[in-house]
Amino acid sequence: MNDLRLVGSSVSPYTRKVRALLRFRRIPFQFVRKGGRESDDLPPAPLPLIPYVIFPDRNGELTDALGDTTPIINRLEDDYTARAVRPKDPALAVIDALLEEFGDEWLSKCMFHFRWSKALDTQTSSSYLAYAMNMTATPEQGEAFARMFAERQISRIGVVGSNETTGPLIEESWERYLDVFDRHLQNQPFLLGNRPGAGDYGCFGQMTMLVLTDPTPQAVSRRISPRAFAWTEAMEDHSGLEVDDSDWIDLDAPPETLNDLLCELGRLFVPFMLENAKAAASGDKMFECELDGSPWVQETFVYQAKCLKWLKQRYDNLGENDKARLDNVLSGTGCEVLFAG
């Protein structure tokens, strides 16, 4: 059987998410740099995005390309049972999926906002990106690429919802997240217990940039949570961590800080997802609303409406007892509105 291939870039947050997850899961894989000879010899990307994974088909041939990290994780859960990242308890698995979306779809706003709205962060991050694609580029090529890439990203900053109105809210949310993350991790080393879930990997992906490389959010994280630096570094490779089913937290007796973390999700991320989905459903290109008492305005992000649908499906698939157990934990956090009606 051929090892599967992860195609991406070591400076892409979503690539890092999947690479670290594969290591924890002890799934044999080869990491392939996008744009290199090795990636050209593989089936093409299913979407114009990285990362993607090439799975072996029934004959062991590498033919089956899958994009988008959440479906990739789902497929890995189906194909390999050991060391799963989705909790066995289906109600807890909904919280894990919610945390994964928070990482993917909200912390990515923090990442994009700091990186492409602050000159220092733009300069720092774009300066090395060319070399990640072409290690032998000349300094002139590197600088030309940095300028081109920064211009392109800055022109797209509105897509993720960073603008003058939303910037301060995004920055405050990064600070509050670090505070609650730090308090929560005093109870257990991962978001949902003594083993990492998909939620940890979702948050980790964005934190590779926010905590490890980009100067402004990194300075904030060093001030509020030195633990976040150690955690993010450690998340890269948990292949040696031994885990079993009892390592998940008990959803019926969760630590109080889980409630605090969910309240943070319920403050901006959850109402944002609902407003965005409403706008997508009515075909609006832009939407304006109030989040946590402050005005919010951004372009509608159709992909994020799809993410919300995935979350709702998970909830709808629960039995009545598990719905009640989950409702009990979500109640009063602001997250319960996701699944109401």
Ligand X SMILES: N[C@@H](CCC(=O)N[C@@H](CS)C(=O)NCC(=O)O)C(=O)O
Nearer Cβ to ligand X (214/322)? 214
Nearer Cβ to ligand X (69/218)? 69
Question: Minimum CB separation from ligand X for residue 12, in Å?
Answer: 4
| SS3 per residue for 32-78 | EECCCHHHHCCCCCCCCCCCEEEEECCCCCEEEEEECHHHHHHHHHH
Nearer Cβ to ligand X (205/334)? 205
**In this structure, are residues 129 and 146 in contact, taking their beta carbons and an 8 Å threshold?**
yes
- Helix, strand and coil percent figures for the chain, each rounded to 5: 60, 10, 30
Nearer Cβ to ligand X (229/310)? 310
Contacts of 68 (CB under 8 A, 6+ apart): 47, 49
Question: Minimum CB separation from ligand X for residue 23, in Å?
Answer: 18
Question: Minimum CB separation from ligand X for residue 231, in Å?
Answer: 20
Furthest-apart CA atoms within the chain: distance in Å: 62
Q: Cα 339–188–314 angle (5° rounding)?
A: 20
Nearer Cβ to ligand X (4/330)? 4
| CA–CA distance, 261 with 248 (Å, rounded to integer) | 16
Question: Minimum CB separation from ligand X for residue 267, in Å?
Answer: 23
Nearest CA to 212 among 239, 234, 180? Answer: 234
Nearer Cβ to ligand X (210/249)? 210
Question: Minimum CB separation from ligand X for residue 303, in Å?
Answer: 7
Residues of this chain that interact with ligand X (CB under 6 A) are 12-14, 49-50, 68-70, 104
Phi and psi at 212, nearest 5°, equal: -95, -30
Question: Minimum CB separation from ligand X for residue 250, in Å?
Answer: 30
